[in-house]
Each structure stands twice: as C-alpha cells, then as structure tokens.
C-alpha cells in the first residue's frame, strides 16, 4: 500500500459523520431522508473496506469444504453447482455454508437487520 | 402543470355528470409506475376529497393499466372487501389518459406510523383478523367477472422470476437454492383466485378502527391465492417488528382465523412457509430489478443503488426460513 492515512475507510467515515451531524439536521424532511440513505451507503463502504479481506478469506475456507478445486471455490461456482443439481439440497454442509456466507454479507450490508441480529445472539 | 390538470379534471367530471370546482390539488408520493394526486371537488351541495391515479398508458408485464385497475376495484367492491369507491374512469389518449378518480378514504398508509403511533394501538389488535377476512373476500370473487385480469400460474411466475434473476448475471447461491427448493413443492392444492399481488402495509389504508381500504391494485392477477397470504407474512414487510409475523403487527393464527371466518379453504402454517420462501425470493428479485435499472443507466438514483445491498436481507431471511426454523 502506497497510500497514507486516513485509510479509505477512515475517509468515508469522516464524510458520513459530516453528513450526519452538520448537513442532515439542516435539511427539510424528504432531503434528510435521502441524506440518511447516503449515510447508510457510506457506512456499507466503510464496513466493507475494513472487513473484506477477512470475510473473503473466511468465505473461501467455507467454499473449499464444498468445492475442492481451489480455483473453482467461488460464489459463482457454488451457485452453478446448486443450479445443476451437483450439490444436494439436503447436504448439511451446503446449508451451513449458505448460512455462514450470508451472515458475512449482511454483517457488511446491514448489521442492524432483524434476522441477522436474531441469528448472532 | 397542476392548473392545467385542475381544468382537465373539472372537464372530465363534468362529462361524467358532476359539475363543480377542483381545488387544493397536490401530488402524493406513490408507486414508480403511476402518479397520484389528491384534490377537493366541490359544488353547491357538497365538497369532498378525491384521488386521481394516472399511469403512463404503456402496457407493462408487471402492472395492469389504471383504467383496468379501476374496473377491477369496482367489481371487487361487490364482494364486500373494503375498496375505495371509483368515481370515474378515463382511458386511451382522451380526457385524463389512462387514469381514474376515486373517493379518498381517510386513514394512514405509512407502515411505520401504523406500527408505532399510539392512535393505531386498537387498530393493530384487530388488523390481522381483518386482513384475513379481506383477503378471503377478494379470493372468493367469481372469476367469470374478471376475464381481463392477466393469468399468472405460479410455475410460470417462478420461471419468469428465475429468468429475470439470471438476466442480471449476478449468481446468488441462496437464490439458486430457493428456486430449486420451490421446484420441489406442490402448488396444486389450491384453485385459481383473484390475487391482489401486493397485499401489505403501504397498500392498506388504516384508520383507528382498523382496515379501511385495500388500495394499489396494479399487480393484480389470477393465480394461486396463497401468494397474497405468504406475501403478507414475510419479514421484508414487518418493518423491523419481526416478532409479529403478519405485517409487523399480528400473529399468523389470528390472520388465518380471519381468513377462515369467510372462506372454507383450510390453510396450514407449513404451507404458509412455502409461500413465505416464495414471497421473500420474489421481493429479492424485485430489489434486483430496481438496482439494475440504476446500474444499466435507465434511472439514476441513490435509492435504487442502495437497494442492491438489501438483497442480502432477503438472503438471510431465506436461510432463516429454510434451515433455521425462521417464521
């Protein structure tokens, strides 16, 4: 990495806080609502920047339990093998993999989502 | 713009036998495919609030024309289901284009207010039962009166949803799993019925005594009535109140009791689950349609971009329903 701090996550966080604290409060309702969406989007980017390496690595490990060829152990292959019937729907390892990978995705997209909060309790 | 529209509405109502003045014409936020206005219509005798719903007039595979929507609402009204009264229908290029006027039903349609405001606390107690009743009435209409409504057999609908999802070339293992799982389910247990297609908070007018009207009929079809039941019970439409299965306000048992107070059809919670999976997947594909309308440059919008990252909400709901005993 040749770039200095702030990291991209830290930059995005600074913009998000600026919108939240200094802009949103000055706007009429419908624009405050849209600004909240912008803040939510920035927070997704921040979480993704901070966690993507770890989450991708962990997902790869899960994928390798189902797809033994390391070059083919990716999301597209998993989807293709479910579609073709190569992976059995009753396979507990498959079900576990879908649960765990989905949890990783939503931990970035929306960690406040009700079902996610229930499942990590 | 709105002054011209005001005159057009007055002219159109005059043609339909009501002479009077239009005032307080204001746009309401509505669905993406239609514009909605509210206004006051007054003459010597009375003054009342009305709604104008107007479409682009283009045929779409997703929505029926406004003029058709109005005719369907008129016919459904005779089943006893709460539906707004249609005042006049315009079609083709003349008058107001593809549009209709209806009486305004006083009440609230914004889900978060209905779920949280104190003034709806009594309404919330009764709402699940009332929604069950209303759906059973809608599902029991005689289909001979509804030839113009598009037929959407569920297997064909699933195929259409699958092809739509595949067209975006963004493989989602959970969606693949859910489509495959749905392929194995039995959908032959129900007779065809009139299906509202988007029965949920947001499309229901609620007042302090409960359900006042079922609105927004543009996704109406003839198909499997369980679609409406499952759709009302998915977590996507609970607006954060996920412990209340029905719309974030009620229990499945009350909802089905309301349904069976009108209909002879027996509905088992296990069957509802199949339709919750289907409904969640359907909502997930609709999210994809919206985000790709942004990514393909058809509509550039922050909201539509953001909705792309809500697809994982439907995925977590699907794995919860399918593998973890989710309700």
Verify whether the Cβ–Cβ distance A82 to B173 is below 8 Å: yes
For residue range B270-298, list pLDDT tens digits in order. 999 999 999 999 999 999 999 998 998 87
Helix ranges, chain B (H): 2-15, 66-77, 111-116, 121-139, 154-167, 173-183, 226-232, 252-260, 269-295, 302-307, 311-323
How far apart, in Å, are the Cα atoms of B20 and each of A14, B102, B222, B238?
Answer: 57, 16, 38, 42
For residue range B121-174, list pLDDT tens digits in order. 999 999 999 999 999 999 999 999 999 899 999 999 999 999 999 999 999 999
Q: What is the pLDDT of residue B1?
A: 59
Verify whether the Cβ–Cβ distance A113 to B316 is below 8 Å: yes
Verify whether the Cβ–Cβ distance A115 to B317 is below 8 Å: yes
What percentage of chain A has pLDDT greater than the value 70? 100
Question: Model's pTM, two decimal places?
Answer: 0.94
Q: Distance (Å, rounded) from C-alpha A106 to C-alpha A113?
A: 8
Out of A89, A106, A118, the one facing B177 most closely (by C-beta) is: A89
Out of A76, A83, A115, the one facing B242 most closely (by C-beta) is: A115
Verify whether the Cβ–Cβ distance B316 to A98 is below 8 Å: no
User: Smallest CA–CA separation between B243 and chain A, in Å?
Assistant: 9
Out of A38, A82, A98, the one facing B319 most closely (by C-beta) is: A98
Q: What is the pLDDT of residue B313?
A: 98
Out of B171, B317, B322, the one facing A80 most closely (by C-beta) is: B171
ipTM for the whole complex: 0.95
Q: Distance (Å, rounded) from C-alpha B14 to C-alpha B57?
A: 23
Inter-chain contacts counted by CB atoms under 8 A, chains A and B: 87
User: Smallest CA–CA separation between A110 and chain B, in Å?
Assistant: 8
Q: Distance (Å, rounded) from C-alpha A109 to C-alpha B317?
A: 14
Residue linked to tokens 């204001």: B26
* pLDDT above 90 for B300: no
Do B247 and B131 form a contact (C-beta atoms < 8 A)? yes
For residue range A39-64, list pLDDT tens digits in order. 999 999 999 999 999 999 999 999 99
Mind giving me the DSSP string for B221-267?
EEE-THHHHHHHTSGGGSTT-TTSTBTTTB-HHHHHHHHHTT-----
Cα angle B50, B135, B31 (rounded to 5 degrees) comes to 45
User: Smallest CA–CA separation between A64 and chain B, in Å?
Assistant: 15
- Residue B61 touches chain A, beta carbons under 8 Å: no
**Terminal CA-CA length for chain A:** 36
Read off the pLDDT band of B29 (50, 70, 90): low
User: Smallest CA–CA separation between B244 and chain A, in Å?
Assistant: 12
- B239: Cβ contacts below 8 Å, ≥ 6 apart: B111, B112, B115, B201, B248
Do B26 and B38 form a contact (C-beta atoms < 8 A)? yes
């Amino acid at each position: 990495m040749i770039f200095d701090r702030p990291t991209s996550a830290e930059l995005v966080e600074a913009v998000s806080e600026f919108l939240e604290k200094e802009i949103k409060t000055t706007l009429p309702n419908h624009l405050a609502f849209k600004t909240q969406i912008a803040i939510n989007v920035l927070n997704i980017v921040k979480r993704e920047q901070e966690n993507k390496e770890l989450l991708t690595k962990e997902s790869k490990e899960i994928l390798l339990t189902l797809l033994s060829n390391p070059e083919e152990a990716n999301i597209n292959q998993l989807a293709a093998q479910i579609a073709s019937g190569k992976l059995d729907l009753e396979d507990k390892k498959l079900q576990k993999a879908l649960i765990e990978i989905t949890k990783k995705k939503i931990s970035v997209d929306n960690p406040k989502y009700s079902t996610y909060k229930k499942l990590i309790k | 713009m709105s002054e011209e529209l005001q005159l057009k509405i007055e002219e159109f109502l005059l043609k339909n036998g009501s002479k009077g003045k239009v005032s307080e014409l204001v746009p309401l936020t509505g669905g993406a495919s239609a514009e909605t206005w509210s206004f006051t219509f007054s003459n010597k005798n009375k003054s009342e609030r009305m709604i104008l719903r107007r479409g682009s007039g283009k045929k779409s595979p997703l929505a029926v024309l406004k003029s058709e929507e109005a005719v369907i609402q008129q016919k459904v009204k005779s089943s006893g289901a709460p539906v707004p009264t249609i005042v006049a229908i315009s079609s083709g290029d003349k008058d107001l284009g593809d549009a209709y006027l209806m009486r305004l039903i006083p009440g609230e349609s914004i889900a978060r207010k209905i779920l949280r405001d104190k003034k709806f606390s009594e309404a919330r107690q009764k709402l699940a039962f009332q929604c069950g009743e209303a759906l059973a009435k809608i599902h029991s209409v005689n289909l001979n009166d509804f030839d113009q409504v598009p037929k959407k057999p569920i297997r064909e609908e699933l195929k259409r949803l699958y092809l739509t999802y595949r067209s975006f070339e963004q493989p989602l293992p959970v969606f693949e799993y859910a489509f495959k799982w749905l392929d194995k389910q039995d959908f032959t247990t129900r007779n065809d019925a009139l299906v509202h297609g988007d029965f949920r908070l947001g499309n229901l007018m609620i007042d302090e005594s409960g359900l006042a009207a079922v609105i927004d009929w543009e996704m109406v079809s003839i198909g499997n009535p369980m679609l409406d039941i499952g759709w009302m019970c998915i977590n996507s439409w609970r607006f954060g109140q996920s412990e209340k299965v029905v719309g974030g306000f009620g229990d499945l048992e009350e909802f089905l009791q309301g349904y069976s107070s009108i209909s002879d059809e027996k509905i088992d919670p296990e069957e509802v689950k199949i339709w919750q999976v289907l409904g969640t997947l359907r909502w997930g594909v609709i999210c994809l349609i919206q985000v790709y309308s942004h990514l393909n440059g058809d509509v550039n919008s922050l909201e539509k971009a953001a909705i792309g990252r809500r697809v994982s909400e439907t995925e977590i709901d699907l794995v919860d329903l399918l593998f973890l005993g989710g309700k």
